[in-house]
Amino acid sequence: MYPLKFKPILKERLWGGKKLKEVFGKASISETTGESWELSTVQGDISVIANGDLADNSLQELIEKYPNELLGKSVVDRFGKEFPILIKFIDAKQDLSIQLHPNDQLAKERHNSFGKTEMWYIMDADPGAELIVGFNKDVTKSEYAKSLESDSLLDLLNYEKVKEGDTFFINTGKIHAIGAGVLLAEIQQTSDVTYRVFDFNRRDKDGNLRELHTDLALDAIDYKKKDDFKVDYSKESNAINSMVQCPYFKTNFLNLTQSMVQDTLKRDSFTIFMCVDGEAKIENDFGQVIVNKGETTLLPASSKKIKINTTGVKLLEVTI
């Protein structure tokens, strides 16, 4: 099974823009494309293979036929025949809504879903662009509820200026929002459960306010001020630099100026590469693929060796 590329699933969003087309060359015909889902088995949005002999088969079909070969036995033992993570690129022309995600237990009880732990890698940011991550002080549930009633929630939130290369880990329960002017790569658990708590009183194209999930969010929020979200990682050239190691995914940063070979015989997990800058030819025992900035490839767990041929590329390497 060779390195697989997939047809991007483009999502129109009230807050989206044109960078996914202009910067990455995604096939958008809209001026409000907010997301490119690169790898997904979310119901209704299942990725379809774009290259090679397996083209036009879905990722889910491949998992059903070759679970251990594609995912890895240890991954199948944990998650069954479900792809455990969702990979996206996001373009925020406007501020996203302020939101949070429930943990696994709440998500299972309420939505028969996984929770949503995620991470962001900033690929580009307009001058002054920022994120909202967590609270600026410890708050109580009643203080939070009162801030919604008085339209003063923004006064309780923590704002972070961002630049290219900044990385953030967003655990479940943490209130957050992507700010206007940010283009990023997102790695998350396979889940589309989001609790929206404030949307700047915006209206959609039909003049309607978007749904809020005020009551659901109350018991899902972490009300403590925590400085646990900014990821401090090495950017050493031609090395495997660890970024995030959590129960749901592991992400490394590869800043390569020359080719690299990895022995993956004992990895027992698929490998994803998100190209966040430059270009590389990535190959395993069965084939090769070229990835450019804003593209993603999936290599099966059966890959015994992975070779990255490049003179300049920055990659996010994701495994389980």
Q: Which two tokens stand for residue 223?
A: 């009300």
Q: What is each CA distance from 313 to 140, 256, 279, in whole angstroms? A: 45, 5, 5
Q: Tokens 């083209």 — which residue?
A: 55
In angstroms, rounded to a whole number, what is the distance separating the alpha carbons of residues 190 and 215? Answer: 23
Taking alpha carbons only, the member of 310, 268, 270, 271 closest to residue 293 is 310
Spatial CA neighbour of 3 closest among 305, 267, 255, 311: 305
* Residue 274 structure tokens: 């998100």
Rounded Cα gap, residues 114 and 253, in angstroms: 26
**Distance separating alpha carbons of residues 70 and 236, to the nearest angstrom:** 30
196 is catalytic: yes
| CA 135/CA 174 separation, integer angstroms | 9
Give the Å distances, CA to CA, from 283 to 2, 38, 160, 162, 255: 8, 19, 38, 33, 17
Which residue is catalytic, options 196, 202, 203, 210?
196
| Catalytic positions | 196
